[in-house]
Structure 1
Amino acid sequence: MTFSMRRIRAIITKDWKDLLKNSYILVSILLPLGFAAMLSRMSTDDSSMLSMPINLALVMTGAFVQASMMAEEKERSTLRVLLLSPASTLEIMIGKSVLSAIITLIVVIGSILISGINIPELFYFSIMILLSLIIFISLGTIIGLISRTVMETSIVGLPILIIFTYGSMLSSMFNSPIIAESISYLPTENFSSALVSLQGSGGFAEIKWNLLNMLLWAIGSVILAKFIYGKRRLDK
Structure 2
Amino acid sequence: MMDAKELGQFVVPTDVTPERLPGVLVQACLDLMDQRQRSLTTDGVLLTWIVLQYAINFDQPVVPGMTLNLSGLPYRRDHHVSLRTVYVTDQQQQRVVTIRSVWGLLNQSSRTLTRLDDAALGLPEGLPIRRVDRLHFPRITTAIGITRPVGLRPDDIDHNQHLHNTRYFDLAMGMLPPEQFQLYWCEQIDIRFRREIVAGDQPRIMTGRADSTVVVQRFCVDDNNVAELVTRWRRRDGNA
Q: TM-score, normalised by structure 2?
A: 0.29
Structure with greater proportional strand content: 2
Structure with greater proportional helix content: 1
